[in-house]
Amino acid sequence: MTHHSTDTPQFFLTAPSPCPYLPGQMERKVFTHLVGGRASTLNEVLTQGGFRRSQNIAYRPACETCKACISVRVPVERFRMTKSFRRVIDGNRDVIGTRVEAAPTSEQYSLFRGYLDARHAEGGMADMSVLDYAMMVEDTHVETMLVEYRFRGPDTAFTGQGEGPLIGTALTDVLSDGLSMVYSFYEPDMPDRSLGTMMILDHIARARRMGLPYVYLGYWVKGSRKMGYKARFRPQEHLTGQGWEPAADVE
């Protein structure tokens, strides 16, 4: 059995593989294991240093010929609410997000499966089974949560919870300086609602209520349609060789 130190993390480098974002590019990742009592502290330090979490692994790009992946976070107090964002909020006033325990359910997996089939049928997660999904949610030593989105019902004003079918879910790590959106998925048959945008806006508002200064959005990749939406949330900070810096407007 392989043992991983919980005091001094070991870092490993993956073999080159085709980049999922930019055609013709090869990607490599550096990664380490998030295990033991110091996992949450390590996850915080690494997230602030541009890493992302997947289950009990923290990773970041380490590509030899490309630096297109840029770590992005939104400073919630300076976030600018545009007319487009207001339309998304107004169009989803009948939806409410509820924080729940990070525990997988069959309803979540059904939504997850439908989302992958509609949006990412050729992606690396396309073959994920219900067990794979359960591990994505549960296999972690850090503080994380799920936010479930449902329509408001007659009792929502009293319970603070939505009713009816699940239409969106976000798996989110809770850090001392912000919320890190690990993975989110939603009902693909409601394109007019812009549910992906709505969930990010909800997390920005949620972080503000929690007194947390940032929402971490992962990587923005210039030239990738998959990641282009992240450029809309402004102002934003990008991680550079000199640390986190205000980003120029990006498209």
Domains parsed from the chain with CATH numbers: 12-68 (no CATH), 73-246 (3.40.630.30)
Closest by CA to 210, choosing from 180, 244, 176, is: 176
Percent of the chain scored above 90 by pLDDT?
Answer: 81
> Across the chain, which distance is largest between two alpha carbons, in Å?
56
pLDDT over threshold 60, residue 4: no
186: pLDDT strictly greater than 70: yes
Reported pTM: 0.92
Instruction: List pLDDT tens digits, range 44-69.
Output: 999 999 999 999 999 999 998 899 99
Rounded Cα distance, 122 and 19, in Å: 13
Give me the pLDDT at residue 2, please. 45
| 202 conformational bin, left if phi > 0, alpha if psi -120 to 50, beta if neither | alpha
Contact 154, 133 (CB under 8 A): no
Q: Which are the contacts of 28, defined by CB distance < 8 A and separation ≥ 6? A: 13, 14, 15, 16, 17, 61, 62, 63, 64
Three-state DSSP state, 213: coil
pLDDT tens sequence across 190-238: 999 999 999 999 999 999 999 999 999 999 998 888 888 999 999 999 9
| Residue 251 clears pLDDT 70, i.e. is over it | no
pLDDT at 121: 64
Q: Is the pLDDT of residue 89 over 60?
A: yes
- Mean pLDDT computed over every residue of the chain: 92
pLDDT value of position 123: 67
Mean pLDDT calculated for residue range 128-141: 93
